[in-house]
Amino acid sequence: MKPRKSYTLSWPRHRLELGSRTAVMGVLNVTPDSFSDGGRFFSPEEALRQGLRLVEEGADILDVGGESTRPFSDPVSEEEEVRRTVPVIEALAEAVSVPISIDTTKASVAKRALEAGASMINDVGALRMDPAMAEVASAFQVPLIVMHMLGTPKTMQVAPDYRDLHGEICTFLQEAIARAEQAGVPRGNIIIDPGIGFGKTVTHNLQIIGGLEAFASLDCPLLVGPSRKAFIRHLLKPEGASDLPADHPMVEIGTHAAVAAAVLQGAHIVRVHDVAGARATVTIIDAIRMG
Protein backbone atom coordinates (compact mmCIF):
# COMPACT_ATOMS: atom_id res chain seq x y z
CA MET A 1 0.00 0.00 0.00
CA LYS A 2 1.55 3.28 -1.14
CA PRO A 3 1.45 6.24 1.26
CA ARG A 4 -1.09 8.92 0.43
CA LYS A 5 0.38 12.38 -0.08
CA SER A 6 -0.94 14.98 2.35
CA TYR A 7 -2.40 18.32 1.29
CA THR A 8 -3.60 21.36 3.21
CA LEU A 9 -6.34 23.51 1.73
CA SER A 10 -6.51 26.85 3.49
CA TRP A 11 -8.75 29.70 2.41
CA PRO A 12 -10.82 32.43 4.08
CA ARG A 13 -12.84 30.91 6.96
CA HIS A 14 -11.81 27.29 6.32
CA ARG A 15 -8.96 24.82 6.43
CA LEU A 16 -8.92 21.16 5.37
CA GLU A 17 -6.11 18.78 6.23
CA LEU A 18 -6.15 15.92 3.72
CA GLY A 19 -3.87 12.97 4.27
CA SER A 20 -3.92 10.98 7.48
CA ARG A 21 -7.71 11.45 7.67
CA THR A 22 -10.11 11.03 4.75
CA ALA A 23 -12.61 13.86 4.36
CA VAL A 24 -16.29 12.99 3.82
CA MET A 25 -18.37 15.19 1.54
CA GLY A 26 -22.11 14.86 2.17
CA VAL A 27 -24.42 15.09 -0.85
CA LEU A 28 -27.42 17.40 -0.54
CA ASN A 29 -29.53 17.30 -3.69
CA VAL A 30 -32.10 20.09 -3.87
CA THR A 31 -33.72 18.59 -6.96
CA PRO A 32 -37.04 16.90 -7.74
CA ASP A 33 -35.45 14.22 -9.94
CA SER A 34 -32.23 12.98 -8.34
CA PHE A 35 -31.45 9.33 -9.09
CA SER A 36 -30.30 8.79 -5.50
CA ASP A 37 -33.02 10.22 -3.26
CA GLY A 38 -36.00 10.93 -5.52
CA GLY A 39 -36.42 14.57 -4.53
CA ARG A 40 -36.78 13.90 -0.80
CA PHE A 41 -34.96 17.14 0.05
CA PHE A 42 -36.43 19.41 -2.62
CA SER A 43 -38.10 21.78 -0.17
CA PRO A 44 -35.77 24.28 1.60
CA GLU A 45 -37.00 23.10 5.01
CA GLU A 46 -36.26 19.44 4.30
CA ALA A 47 -32.91 20.35 2.72
CA LEU A 48 -31.88 22.34 5.79
CA ARG A 49 -32.81 19.48 8.11
CA GLN A 50 -30.87 17.02 5.98
CA GLY A 51 -27.83 19.29 5.82
CA LEU A 52 -27.77 19.62 9.59
CA ARG A 53 -28.15 15.87 9.91
CA LEU A 54 -25.21 15.23 7.57
CA VAL A 55 -22.97 17.53 9.60
CA GLU A 56 -24.02 15.83 12.83
CA GLU A 57 -23.12 12.49 11.22
CA GLY A 58 -19.61 13.68 10.44
CA ALA A 59 -19.59 15.48 7.10
CA ASP A 60 -16.48 17.59 6.56
CA ILE A 61 -18.04 19.30 3.52
CA LEU A 62 -21.64 19.75 2.35
CA ASP A 63 -22.18 19.63 -1.43
CA VAL A 64 -25.41 21.38 -2.44
CA GLY A 65 -26.70 20.85 -5.97
CA GLY A 66 -29.79 22.13 -7.75
CA GLU A 67 -29.47 20.37 -11.11
CA SER A 68 -29.53 16.63 -11.61
CA THR A 69 -26.55 15.19 -13.47
CA ARG A 70 -27.93 11.66 -13.73
CA PRO A 71 -27.46 10.00 -17.13
CA PHE A 72 -29.72 11.45 -19.87
CA SER A 73 -30.90 14.31 -17.65
CA ASP A 74 -31.85 17.71 -19.07
CA PRO A 75 -30.29 20.97 -17.81
CA VAL A 76 -32.30 23.51 -15.81
CA SER A 77 -32.20 27.28 -16.13
CA GLU A 78 -29.85 29.49 -14.15
CA GLU A 79 -32.82 31.12 -12.41
CA GLU A 80 -34.28 27.79 -11.33
CA GLU A 81 -30.95 26.49 -10.08
CA VAL A 82 -30.44 29.65 -8.01
CA ARG A 83 -34.00 29.42 -6.66
CA ARG A 84 -33.37 25.87 -5.50
CA THR A 85 -29.93 26.28 -3.95
CA VAL A 86 -29.38 29.82 -2.64
CA PRO A 87 -32.01 29.82 0.15
CA VAL A 88 -30.69 26.47 1.39
CA ILE A 89 -27.08 27.68 1.34
CA GLU A 90 -28.01 30.89 3.15
CA ALA A 91 -29.71 28.91 5.92
CA LEU A 92 -26.93 26.33 6.21
CA ALA A 93 -24.18 28.97 6.25
CA GLU A 94 -25.71 30.42 9.42
CA ALA A 95 -26.06 27.02 11.06
CA VAL A 96 -22.92 24.99 10.26
CA SER A 97 -19.18 25.62 10.38
CA VAL A 98 -18.08 23.15 7.69
CA PRO A 99 -17.44 24.35 4.12
CA ILE A 100 -20.45 24.35 1.81
CA SER A 101 -19.76 23.45 -1.80
CA ILE A 102 -22.01 24.50 -4.69
CA ASP A 103 -22.38 21.70 -7.23
CA THR A 104 -22.96 23.53 -10.53
CA THR A 105 -21.58 23.99 -14.03
CA LYS A 106 -22.75 27.62 -14.29
CA ALA A 107 -20.46 30.46 -13.19
CA SER A 108 -23.39 32.76 -12.44
CA VAL A 109 -24.96 30.18 -10.12
CA ALA A 110 -21.62 29.60 -8.39
CA LYS A 111 -21.23 33.35 -7.85
CA ARG A 112 -24.70 33.66 -6.30
CA ALA A 113 -24.03 30.64 -4.09
CA LEU A 114 -20.68 31.99 -2.89
CA GLU A 115 -22.30 35.34 -2.09
CA ALA A 116 -24.92 33.41 -0.08
CA GLY A 117 -22.30 31.62 2.04
CA ALA A 118 -20.90 28.73 0.00
CA SER A 119 -17.12 28.40 0.07
CA MET A 120 -16.22 25.79 -2.57
CA ILE A 121 -17.18 25.06 -6.18
CA ASN A 122 -17.78 21.53 -7.50
CA ASP A 123 -17.82 21.79 -11.30
CA VAL A 124 -18.63 18.47 -12.98
CA GLY A 125 -18.10 20.24 -16.28
CA ALA A 126 -14.42 20.93 -15.44
CA LEU A 127 -14.68 24.51 -16.81
CA ARG A 128 -15.81 23.28 -20.25
CA MET A 129 -19.49 24.19 -19.95
CA ASP A 130 -18.79 27.67 -18.60
CA PRO A 131 -15.17 28.88 -18.87
CA ALA A 132 -15.99 31.81 -16.54
CA MET A 133 -16.21 29.36 -13.64
CA ALA A 134 -12.46 29.52 -13.00
CA GLU A 135 -12.58 33.31 -12.83
CA VAL A 136 -15.29 33.09 -10.17
CA ALA A 137 -13.22 30.61 -8.13
CA SER A 138 -10.20 32.91 -8.45
CA ALA A 139 -12.12 36.04 -7.48
CA PHE A 140 -13.60 34.42 -4.35
CA GLN A 141 -10.36 32.57 -3.47
CA VAL A 142 -12.15 29.25 -2.96
CA PRO A 143 -11.24 25.64 -3.76
CA LEU A 144 -12.39 24.32 -7.14
CA ILE A 145 -13.21 20.69 -7.90
CA VAL A 146 -12.82 19.69 -11.56
CA MET A 147 -14.30 16.37 -12.68
CA HIS A 148 -13.81 14.21 -15.74
CA MET A 149 -16.93 13.58 -17.81
CA LEU A 150 -17.19 12.12 -21.30
CA GLY A 151 -19.57 14.49 -23.10
CA THR A 152 -22.54 15.84 -21.12
CA PRO A 153 -25.05 14.23 -18.74
CA LYS A 154 -27.39 13.91 -21.73
CA THR A 155 -24.85 11.96 -23.81
CA MET A 156 -22.20 10.55 -21.47
CA GLN A 157 -23.62 7.02 -21.19
CA VAL A 158 -24.10 6.51 -24.94
CA ALA A 159 -21.48 3.82 -25.61
CA PRO A 160 -18.56 5.33 -23.65
CA ASP A 161 -15.25 4.14 -25.05
CA TYR A 162 -11.56 4.73 -24.25
CA ARG A 163 -8.30 3.54 -25.76
CA ASP A 164 -6.34 4.46 -22.61
CA LEU A 165 -8.77 4.96 -19.75
CA HIS A 166 -6.46 6.36 -17.08
CA GLY A 167 -4.27 8.21 -19.57
CA GLU A 168 -7.20 9.98 -21.22
CA ILE A 169 -8.71 10.98 -17.87
CA CYS A 170 -5.31 12.26 -16.68
CA THR A 171 -4.90 14.35 -19.82
CA PHE A 172 -8.41 15.76 -19.46
CA LEU A 173 -7.82 16.71 -15.82
CA GLN A 174 -4.38 18.16 -16.54
CA GLU A 175 -5.97 20.44 -19.15
CA ALA A 176 -8.67 21.47 -16.66
CA ILE A 177 -5.99 22.25 -14.05
CA ALA A 178 -4.12 24.37 -16.60
CA ARG A 179 -7.28 26.32 -17.49
CA ALA A 180 -7.95 26.97 -13.81
CA GLU A 181 -4.39 28.12 -13.14
CA GLN A 182 -4.43 30.40 -16.18
CA ALA A 183 -7.54 32.07 -14.73
CA GLY A 184 -5.79 32.67 -11.40
CA VAL A 185 -6.83 29.67 -9.31
CA PRO A 186 -3.79 28.55 -7.27
CA ARG A 187 -2.74 24.93 -7.76
CA GLY A 188 -3.23 24.50 -4.01
CA ASN A 189 -6.96 25.24 -4.39
CA ILE A 190 -7.65 22.61 -7.08
CA ILE A 191 -9.18 19.19 -6.36
CA ILE A 192 -9.55 16.51 -9.05
CA ASP A 193 -12.31 13.95 -9.53
CA PRO A 194 -12.05 11.11 -12.10
CA GLY A 195 -15.84 11.12 -12.47
CA ILE A 196 -17.13 7.71 -11.46
CA GLY A 197 -20.28 7.01 -13.49
CA PHE A 198 -19.87 10.00 -15.81
CA GLY A 199 -19.33 8.44 -19.21
CA LYS A 200 -18.04 5.09 -17.96
CA THR A 201 -19.11 1.46 -18.14
CA VAL A 202 -19.18 -0.84 -15.12
CA THR A 203 -15.72 -2.09 -16.05
CA HIS A 204 -14.38 1.46 -16.50
CA ASN A 205 -15.56 2.42 -13.01
CA LEU A 206 -13.94 -0.63 -11.43
CA GLN A 207 -10.68 0.02 -13.28
CA ILE A 208 -10.63 3.67 -12.20
CA ILE A 209 -11.09 2.82 -8.53
CA GLY A 210 -8.54 0.03 -8.71
CA GLY A 211 -6.00 2.30 -10.39
CA LEU A 212 -6.38 5.64 -8.61
CA GLU A 213 -2.62 5.85 -8.16
CA ALA A 214 -2.49 6.84 -11.86
CA PHE A 215 -3.78 10.29 -10.87
CA ALA A 216 -1.09 10.93 -8.24
CA SER A 217 1.13 12.49 -10.90
CA LEU A 218 -1.33 15.40 -11.18
CA ASP A 219 -0.35 16.38 -7.63
CA CYS A 220 -3.81 17.50 -6.44
CA PRO A 221 -6.12 16.14 -3.74
CA LEU A 222 -8.27 13.35 -5.17
CA LEU A 223 -12.05 13.17 -4.71
CA VAL A 224 -13.99 10.01 -5.57
CA GLY A 225 -17.79 9.79 -5.67
CA PRO A 226 -19.05 6.19 -6.04
CA SER A 227 -22.15 6.63 -3.89
CA ARG A 228 -25.17 4.64 -5.10
CA LYS A 229 -23.88 4.72 -8.68
CA ALA A 230 -25.27 2.42 -11.37
CA PHE A 231 -22.21 0.16 -11.44
CA ILE A 232 -22.88 -0.80 -7.81
CA ARG A 233 -26.58 -1.34 -8.45
CA HIS A 234 -25.72 -3.48 -11.47
CA LEU A 235 -23.12 -5.64 -9.76
CA LEU A 236 -25.44 -6.39 -6.82
CA LYS A 237 -28.63 -7.17 -8.73
CA PRO A 238 -29.98 -10.72 -8.67
CA GLU A 239 -29.20 -12.69 -11.81
CA GLY A 240 -31.67 -11.86 -14.57
CA ALA A 241 -33.20 -8.94 -12.66
CA SER A 242 -33.08 -5.22 -13.23
CA ASP A 243 -30.51 -3.07 -11.43
CA LEU A 244 -31.28 -2.52 -7.76
CA PRO A 245 -32.94 0.80 -6.86
CA ALA A 246 -30.63 3.45 -5.40
CA ASP A 247 -32.28 3.25 -1.97
CA HIS A 248 -31.88 -0.53 -1.62
CA PRO A 249 -29.93 -1.41 1.58
CA MET A 250 -27.50 -3.57 -0.38
CA VAL A 251 -26.57 -0.57 -2.54
CA GLU A 252 -25.39 1.30 0.55
CA ILE A 253 -23.27 -1.68 1.57
CA GLY A 254 -21.82 -1.77 -1.93
CA THR A 255 -21.13 1.95 -1.74
CA HIS A 256 -19.11 1.55 1.44
CA ALA A 257 -17.10 -1.25 -0.15
CA ALA A 258 -16.28 1.10 -3.04
CA VAL A 259 -15.45 3.90 -0.59
CA ALA A 260 -13.07 1.61 1.29
CA ALA A 261 -11.35 0.57 -1.93
CA ALA A 262 -11.03 4.20 -3.07
CA VAL A 263 -9.44 5.28 0.21
CA LEU A 264 -7.04 2.34 0.14
CA GLN A 265 -6.07 3.40 -3.39
CA GLY A 266 -5.38 6.99 -2.35
CA ALA A 267 -8.60 9.05 -2.38
CA HIS A 268 -8.47 12.09 -0.07
CA ILE A 269 -12.19 12.93 -0.17
CA VAL A 270 -15.20 10.66 -0.69
CA ARG A 271 -18.54 12.09 -1.81
CA VAL A 272 -21.47 10.13 -0.34
CA HIS A 273 -25.14 10.24 0.58
CA ASP A 274 -24.82 8.13 3.76
CA VAL A 275 -22.36 10.19 5.78
CA ALA A 276 -22.65 8.21 9.01
CA GLY A 277 -21.82 4.94 7.27
CA ALA A 278 -19.00 6.50 5.27
CA ARG A 279 -17.50 8.10 8.37
CA ALA A 280 -17.36 4.68 10.03
CA THR A 281 -15.87 3.11 6.90
CA VAL A 282 -13.11 5.68 6.40
CA THR A 283 -12.25 5.71 10.11
CA ILE A 284 -11.39 2.02 9.92
CA ILE A 285 -9.63 2.26 6.57
CA ASP A 286 -7.60 5.30 7.69
CA ALA A 287 -6.54 3.35 10.78
CA ILE A 288 -5.42 0.45 8.58
CA ARG A 289 -3.50 2.80 6.31
CA MET A 290 -1.74 4.42 9.27
CA GLY A 291 -1.27 1.19 11.22
Active site residues: 229, 271
Taking the C-alpha atoms of residue 272 and residue 126, their distance in angstroms, rounded to an integer, is 20
Task: Check residue 202 and report its DSSP letter.
Answer: H
Burial 50-82 (b: 16+ CB within 10 A, else e): bbeebbebbbbbbbbbbbbbbbebebbebeebb
The DSSP 8-state label assigned to residue 221 in this structure reads -
Strand 23-29 with 190-193, pairing: unpaired
Question: How far is it, in rounded angstroms, from Cα 222 to Cα 284?
Answer: 19
CB of 251 within 8 A of CB of 244? yes
**Looking at residue 222, what DSSP letter applies?**
B
CA distance 96 to 117: 11
Of residues 101, 201, 287, 258, the one with CA closest to residue 109: 101
100-103 and 61-65 beta bridge pairing: parallel
Element (H, E) at 271: strand 269-272
Q: Are 215 and 173 in contact (CB under 8 A)?
A: yes
